[in-house]
Every structure is written in C-alpha cells, then in structure tokens.
C-alpha cells in the first residue's frame, strides 16, 4: 500500500508525544504500508507551533528513500504576500530534489484568493499536484483553504487552472459527498445515509484535475457513513481516489486499513478498484507509472 498522507513532527498540544521517523516507520510496518507520502508540517502558522519544513522532509527522504515519497510545502503568502510571487523556481528546485507534490496546504485564506490562485498556477506549471486541507470559512479556530457550502470557489479554481492537479482532503471537502450537507455539520463528521450524491462526486466526475485523499477521520467517515454508498463511490471513482492515513500522532487509530481489508475480503469492492486506490493511482500520478 502507498499512503498519500503522513506527517512527522510535533503537534499543538502540551506533552503530546512527537512522531519521529522511527515511530512513523514502525506504524507503517504494522499497518502494511510500504511507502508513504511525507508532508511538511507547520508551514502555515494556523495549525502549528513547530515546523517540519520541506528541507526536513528531504533529510528523512535521503535516509529512507525506499519508504518515503517527499512533498514540499509553501504558504501562498510566502515570498512577499503578493499574487505575483514567482514560486516556480523554488518548486522546480524541490522537484529536482525528489519532491512529487505540494502540501498539505493549510493557510486559512479562501481557496480562490489571488494568493492561492497564484500558488496553484505555479504548481500546475511545474507539474506538481497539490493536497489541500479544506476549511469551512476564514475565521478563528480553524485552518485550511476555505470554501463556502457546495464548494463554488473550488470549482472556480478547477475550471480556471486545468493544468493544476488538486487532491481534496479534510472535513469541509468530504462532507460534500452528499447533497444533504448543512452549515452546522460541514466542518465535522456528519453521519447518515447518502440519499443523493453531493458536490464531491459531481466535481470528481466533471473535472479531470480533481482527486480525493481518503485519509484522516474525514475521508474514512465519508466512505463509511453509508456503507453501501461508500462501496459504490469507491468503485465509481476508483481512478481518482487515494488511500491515506494522516498519521500525525503516536498510537493514532487508523480504521481505514481494516476497512479496506474487510471490503476486499468480503467482495464489497473489486480487486481492481482496491489495487488502484491503495497503490496504483499514487504510482500513476506521482511516478507516471501505469
Ligand atoms: Zn495532514
């Protein structure tokens, strides 16, 4: 399995144990994860005290190039807080050093803010896909690129920047698996049947440059809240989804691993869809392997 989303570093809670590379490798071994995308942590100030930058990711990658797939990260305000900042030269430098993507983006600006749009443009130009954490708004107490209910701003970016690959992540993204989404619950883990598919399936169908990152409680909740719809969704979008954990704490619960094992063993999803989601799609997108 290839995990699209992991972190090393220290969180924001006092006395919280630090996830170091050995802890992460131990968890990957336990869970049967051969390779993991390693994302910088704390690049934007909204969700951090401590920084684990692109350079730190590359140091770990040098030691364990067989286990980690490095991503770089930038904040759209970096380099001068301007919608004209040239990010391409730095992204090219990171790409030359082995980085396969950018993220996860956590700066709390609207996703169609000219600053984000500029960063997305340069990612597309350099050929690096981005993982974004989607938030319900620009306000205190949250982090991530923000959108309104039904994701109009994300759609605008998908349409205006067809050369940029967007990989959606977090609660405000995955709540939109159903059209029965509301302001109260869209920033959390809404439960219940998916009576009619929402904006996420619609946008995945419509835009070749949108993918979904199934990591964390948000991705797992989306595919498990209505088990039958979840299996249908995985089957339908088998070319656009990535297995992931978002390991960022010691002893973090990772229910998506047994979920996939069980779904495959019980024939709820096809072997083809399973293989693409847990590995094939990542190889194809990040290594251009088919
Ligand atoms: Zn994360």
Q: What is the mean pLDDT of the chain?
A: 97
Cα–Cα distance measured from residue 42 to residue 18, given in angstroms and rounded to the nearest whole number = 13
Measured in Å, residue 246 CA sits from the centre of ligand 1 at 5
Is the pLDDT reported for residue 111 higher than 80? yes
Question: Has residue 148 got a pLDDT over 70?
Answer: yes
Distances (CA, A) of 84 to 71, 119, 120, 122: 23, 9, 12, 10
3-class secondary structure, 216: helix
Contact (Cβ atoms closer than 8 angstroms) between residue 116 and residue 167: no
Measured in Å, residue 39 CA sits from the centre of ligand 1 at 7
pLDDT, position 196: 97
Distance 26 CA to ligand 1 centre (A): 18
Contacts of 261 (CB under 8 A, 6+ apart): none
Identify the residue with better confidence: 249 or 68: 68
DSSP state of 17: P
* Cα 81 to middle of ligand 1, angstroms: 24
Going from the Cα of 78 to the center of ligand 1, the distance in angstroms, rounded, reads 20
Q: What is the pLDDT of residue 290?
A: 65
Distance 220 CA to ligand 1 centre (A): 14
Gap from CA of 67 to ligand 1 centroid (Å): 18
Q: Quick check: 114 pLDDT over 80?
A: yes
Rounded distance from Cα 4 to ligand 1 centre (Å): 10
pLDDT at site 63: 97
> Tokens 């490095």 sit at which residue?
70
CA of 6 to the centre of ligand 1 (A): 6
Range from 43-47, 105-109, 156-160, 240-244 carrying the lowest mean pLDDT: 43-47
Mean pLDDT, residues 215-234: 97
Tokens for 248? 């960022």
pLDDT in tens, 172-213: 999 999 999 999 999 999 999 999 999 999 999 999 999 999
pLDDT of residue 288: 86
Identify whether the C-beta of residue 113 lies closer than 8 Å to the C-beta of residue 157.
no
Structural domain for 15, as ranges:
2-287
User: Ligand 1 centre from 236 Cα, in Å?
Assistant: 25
The pLDDT value recorded for residue 289 is 79
183 burial type by CB count under 10 A (0-12 exposed, 13-18 middle, 19+ buried): exposed
**What is the number of structural domains in the chain?**
1
CATH code (residue 60): 3.20.20.140
80 Cα to the center of ligand 1, angstroms: 25
- CA 115 to centroid of ligand 1, rounded, Å: 21
Contacts of 203 (CB under 8 A, 6+ apart): 151, 154, 155, 158, 210
Give pLDDT tens digits for 25-76: 999 999 999 999 999 999 999 989 999 999 999 999 999 999 999 999 999 9
Contact 48, 12 (CB under 8 A): yes
Query: Is 90 exceeded by the pLDDT of residue 246?
Result: yes
């Amino acid at each position: 399995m290839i995990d699209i989303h992991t972190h090393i570093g220290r969180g924001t809670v006092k006395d919280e144990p630090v996830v170091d590379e050995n802890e992460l490798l131990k968890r990957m071994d336990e869970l049967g994860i051969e390779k993991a995308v390693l994302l910088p942590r704390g690049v934007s100030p909204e969700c951090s005290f401590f920084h684990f930058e692109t350079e730190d990711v590359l140091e770990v990658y040098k030691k364990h190039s067989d286990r980690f797939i490095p991503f770089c990260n930038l904040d759209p305000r970096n380099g001068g807080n301007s919608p004209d900042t040239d990010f391409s030269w730095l992204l090219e430098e990171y790409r030359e050093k082995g980085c396969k993507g950018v993220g996860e983006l956590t700066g709390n600006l609207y996703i169609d803010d000219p600053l984000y749009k500029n960063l997305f443009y340069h990612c597309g130009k350099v050929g690096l896909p981005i993982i974004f954490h989607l938030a319900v708004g620009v306000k205190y107490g949250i982090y991530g690129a923000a959108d309104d209910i039904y994701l109009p701003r994300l759609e605008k970016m998908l349409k205006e920047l067809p050369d940029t690959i967007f990989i959606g992540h977090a609660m405000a993204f995955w709540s939109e698996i159903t059209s029965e989404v509301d302001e109260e619950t869209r920033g959390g883990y809404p439960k219940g049947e998916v009576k009619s598919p929402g904006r996420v399936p619609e946008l995945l169908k419509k835009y070749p440059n949108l993918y979904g990152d199934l990591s964390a409680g948000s991705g797992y909740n989306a595919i498990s809240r209505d088990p039958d719809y979840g299996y249908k969704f995985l089957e339908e979008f088998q070319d656009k989804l990535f297995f992931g954990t978002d390991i960022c704490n010691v002893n973090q619960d990772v229910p998506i691993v047994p979920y996939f094992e069980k779904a495959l063993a019980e024939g709820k999803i096809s072997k083809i869809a399973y293989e693409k989601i847990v590995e094939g799609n990542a190889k194809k997108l990040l290594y251009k392997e088919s």
